[in-house]
Amino acid sequence: MMTWPLYLLCRLTHQAYVPFRKVLIDPSDEAALLSYQQAYKLRAGMEVSLDYLRHARVTLCYAGNKCVAGYVLNVPEWTTLRYLSIFPPDLAHHLLAERDMPEQSLIELTCLWKHSKLSPMLSAVYFLSSIWDAWQVGRRLGKRYLLGGAVEASVRQFQRRLLSTDLFIGFLPGQQVITKANQLVAVYAGRVSQIPTRGTWVVLNRFIWRFGYALPGKRRPVLSRNMATS
């Protein structure tokens, strides 16, 4: 997967082609799960339990033969949603009820990490790969909303262009599940059905605009803020 789209992007932007592939970790492979846990802590600076990883869908991404990134998908039927686990149960229920989002309608994309020196091209492919995987799994399982979250302002700004419904933005002092103590945390959601169109456009627009890539003979296409967040 992603071979021909990556090849096409490389040709259009005159970048060197590097094969990109995904590998789904076997939940019984304790060594691989431990390696993922350590990579996530190293790259993202946060903790995730092995028990959570055992029950979720853990994916590694390779550029050539080198592991460069990873992400995790999870639904309530597999294990507790990570983004909701930071709240007391009553508050989590209230946040979802306010927005008419039953917990069983959610799929979360979480524990994302990537190598700090991953090229802009492969970074874009990585993000596209993760959200398209979320779309495929979510559609197969009948999920309506993709759940996400972040503590870094730049990550929040990027993700909320797709996941535009805020569930919570605030401080959770001392919370160690997702947040670093005393950091602002945001949890948000978006419709799974919008991933193929809006999600792809958001990722490619950020990639093309930020790094100055444009199609040959064309001006650099950049969405206005209103178009990107509507």
Q: Which residue ranges make up each domain of the chain? A: 3-229
pLDDT in tens, 72-84: 999 999 999 999 9
Confidence of residue 16 (pLDDT cuts 50, 70, 90): low
Instruction: Report pTM.
Output: 0.84
Closest CA to 84 of 184, 187, 180: 187
Q: Per-residue pLDDT for 155 more than 80?
A: yes
- pLDDT in the model for residue 181: 47
- pLDDT in the model for residue 223: 36
What is the token pair recorded at 175? Answer: 């919370």
Confidence of residue 139 (pLDDT cuts 50, 70, 90): very high
Q: Provide the total of helices (H) and of strands (E) in the chain, helices listed first.
A: 8, 7
The two beta strands, 106-114 and 165-171, are unpaired
Q: Per-residue pLDDT for 211 more than 80?
A: no
- pLDDT in the model for residue 71: 98
Distance CA 149, CA 77 (A): 20
Lowest mean pLDDT of 37-51, 69-83, 91-105, 167-181, name the range: 167-181
| Contact residues for 123 (Cβ-Cβ < 8 A; gap 6+) | 114, 207
Instruction: Name the fold adopted by 3-229.
Output: Aminopeptidase (3.40.630)
Q: Over the chain, what is the mean pLDDT? A: 84
DSSP three-state, residue 59: strand
Confidence of residue 225 (pLDDT cuts 50, 70, 90): very low
pLDDT in tens, 159-193: 999 999 999 998 775 554 555 545 688 999 999 99
Question: Cα dihedral sign for 75, 20, 128, 193?
Answer: negative
Confidence of residue 152 (pLDDT cuts 50, 70, 90): confident
What is the token pair recorded at 33? Answer: 């799960």
